[in-house]
A and B are shown apart, each in its own frame.
Chain A
Amino acid sequence: MSKESTESKESEESRESEKSEESKAPARSVMLQGFRVIGVAVRAEPGVFTAAVLASALYGGMTVASSWALGWATDHAVLPAFRDGGEAATGALLLAALFIVGVAVLKAAGVMGRRILAGVMQYRMQARSRREVTRQYLRLPLAWHHRHPTGQLLSNANSDVEAAWGPLAPLPMAVGVIVMLVTAAVAIVLVDPVLALVGFLIFPAIALLNLVYQRRLSPLAMRAQRLRAEVSEVAHESFDGALVVKTLGREDAEAARFQARADELRDANIAVGRVRGLFDPLLEALPTLGVLAVLLVGAARLESGSLATGDLVQVSYLFTLLAWPIRALGWVLAELPRSVVGWSRVRDVLDATGSMAYGTASLDGAGPARVTAENVRYGYDPGAPVLRDVSFRVEPGRTVAVVGPTGSGKSTLTQLLARLIDPDVGVVRIDGTDLRDVAKGGVSGAVALVLQQTFLFDDTVRGNVTLGLDVPDEKIWAALRLAQAEGFVSALRSGLDTRVGERGASLSGGQRQRLALARALVREPRLLILDDATSSVDPQVEKRILHGLREESAESTVVVVAYRMATIALADEVVYLEQGTVVDHGPHDELLARCEGYRALVTAYEREEAERADALDEVVDESFDSDEEVVA
Chain B
Amino acid sequence: MTAVDERAGDGVTDEARAEETLREAERSAMETVRHGLRLSPEFRHGLAGTLALAVLATLGKIIVPIAVQQVIDRGLDGGTPDVPFIRNAVLLCAVAVLLTALCGYLMNVRLYRSTESGLATLRGKGFRHVHDLSVLTQNSERRGALVSRVTGDVDQISAFMQWGGLTIIIAVGQLVVATALMAVFSWRLTLLVWVCFLPVMIVLPRFQRMVSRAYTRVREWAGDVLAAVSESVVGSAVIRAYGSEDRTAERIDRAVIGQRRAQTRAQMIIGFTFPTTEMVAAVAVAGVIVLGVHLGVAGSITQGRLIAFLFLITLFISPLQTATEVLNEAQNAIAGWRRVLGVLDTPADVADPADGVTLPRGPISVAFERVGFAYPGGPPVLHDVSVEITPGTRMAVVGETGSGKTTFAKLLTRLMDPTSGRILVDGVDLREVSFSSLRERIVMVPQDGFLFDASLADNIRFGRPSASDEEIRLALTELGLADWLDGLPAGLDTPVGQRGESLSAGERQLVALARAYLADPDLLLLDEATSAVDPATEVRLARALDSVTRGRTAVSIAHRLSTAEAADEVLVFQHGRIVQRGPHAELVEQDGVYADLHASWASAIGS
Contact = CB atoms under 8 A, between A and B. Distances in A.
Given A70-B310, A123-B267, A278-B105, 17 more contacts: A78-B303, A108-B275, A127-B260, A134-B228, A231-B123, A232-B151, A237-B499, A245-B131, A247-B516, A255-B128, A277-B105, A280-B104, A288-B60, A299-B75, A302-B76, A406-B504, A468-B246
Contact of A108 (B87, B278, B303, B440): B278
B275 A107 contact: yes
Interface in A281-305: 281-282, 284-285, 288-289, 291-293, 295-296, 299-300, 302-303
Nearest to A564: B604
A266 B285 contact: no
B481 to A, nearest CB: 14
Interface residues of B, number: 177
A262 B124 contact: yes
B414 to A, nearest CB: 9
Given A255-B131, A270-B116, A97 B289 contact: yes
| 5 closest residue pairs by CB, A with B | A249-B439, A277-B108, A273-B112, A104-B282, A444-B243
A391 interface: no
A321 B239 contact: no
Contacts of A630: none
Interface stretch (B23-31, B197-205, B230-238, B374-382): B230-238
B109 interface: yes
18 contacts: A1-B504, A8-B497, A78-B307, A93-B289, A100-B282, A104-B278, A109-B275, A134-B232, A134-B252, A228-B155, A237-B453, A243-B446, A243-B450, A247-B446, A255-B128, A259-B120, A285-B100, A457-B231
Contacts of B451: 241
B147 interface: yes
Contact of A85 (B128, B297, B495): B297
Interface string A580-615: 000000000000000000001110111111001000
Nearest to A1: B504
Interface in B76-133: 76, 80-81, 83, 86-87, 90, 93-94, 97-98, 100-109, 111-113, 116-117, 119-120, 123-124, 127-128, 130-132
B240 interface: yes
A104 B260 contact: no
A81 B271 contact: no
A519 B267 CA distance: 42
Contacts of B252: 130-131, 134
B535 A602 contact: yes
Contacts of A96: 286, 289
A540 B109 contact: no
A145 B109 contact: no
Contacts of B2: none
A171 interface: no
B264 A291 contact: no
B57 interface: yes
A238 B127 contact: yes
B177 interface: no
B606 A565 contact: yes
Given A93-B290, A281-B105, A240 B67 contact: no
Given A104-B282, A258-B127, A539-B600, A284 B104 contact: yes
B68 interface: yes
A138 interface: yes
B600 A157 contact: no
B131 A246 contact: yes
A320 interface: yes
A242 interface: yes
Interface string B384-426: 0000000000000000110000000000010100000000000
B478 interface: no
Nearest to B244: A467
A208 interface: no
A248 interface: yes
Interface stretch (A178-186, A340-348, A423-431, A497-505): A497-505
A468 B230 CA distance: 19
Given A131-B252, A303-B81, A239 B234 contact: no
Contacts of B227: 458, 502
A280 B100 CA distance: 12
Contact of B232 (A1, A138, A253, A606): A138
A195 B232 CA distance: 61
B354 interface: no
A609 B560 CA distance: 11
A79 B534 contact: no
B316 to A, nearest CB: 13
Nearest to A459: B251
Contacts of B98: 285
A513 to B, nearest CB: 13
A81 B303 CA distance: 10
Given A154-B229, A288-B97, A543-B600, A239 B501 contact: no
Contacts of A86: 297
Interface string A478-519: 000000000000000000000101110100001000001001
A605 B102 CA distance: 79
A615 to B, nearest CB: 10
A120 interface: yes
Interface string B417-457: 00000000000000000011011100110101011110000
A145 B400 contact: no
Interface stretch (B179-187, B357-365, B536-544, B570-578): B536-544
Contacts of B230: 154
Nearest to A236: B147
A539 B607 contact: no
A137 interface: yes
A108 B279 contact: yes
B467 interface: no
Nearest to B601: A539
B279 A105 contact: yes
Nearest to A523: B242
Interface string B241-285: 111111111011100110110011001101110111011011101
Contact of B560 (A66, A447, A468, A605): A605
A392 interface: no
Contact of B94 (A124, A281, A292, A519): A292
A612 B446 CA distance: 26
Given A145-B233, A243-B450, A502-B227, A70 B112 contact: no
Nearest to A92: B293
Contacts of A604: 535-536, 538-539
Contacts of B439: 246-249
A54 interface: no
Interface stretch (B135-143, B333-341, B469-477, B547-555): B135-143
A550 interface: no
A78 B306 contact: yes
B39 interface: no
A332 interface: no
A291 B64 contact: yes
B507 interface: yes
A240 B143 contact: yes
A269 interface: yes
B292 interface: yes
B142 to A, nearest CB: 9
A247 B438 CA distance: 9
B296 A81 contact: yes
B108 A281 contact: yes
Q: Among A228, A288, A443, which residue has the most Cβ atoms of chain B within 10 A?
A: A288
B48 interface: no
B605 A565 contact: yes
A435 B134 CA distance: 53
Contacts of A112: 271-272, 274-275
A209 interface: no
A119 B256 CA distance: 15
A563 interface: yes
Q: Among A93, A96, A249, which residue has the most Cβ atoms of chain B within 10 A?
A: A249
A334 B103 CA distance: 27
A135 interface: yes
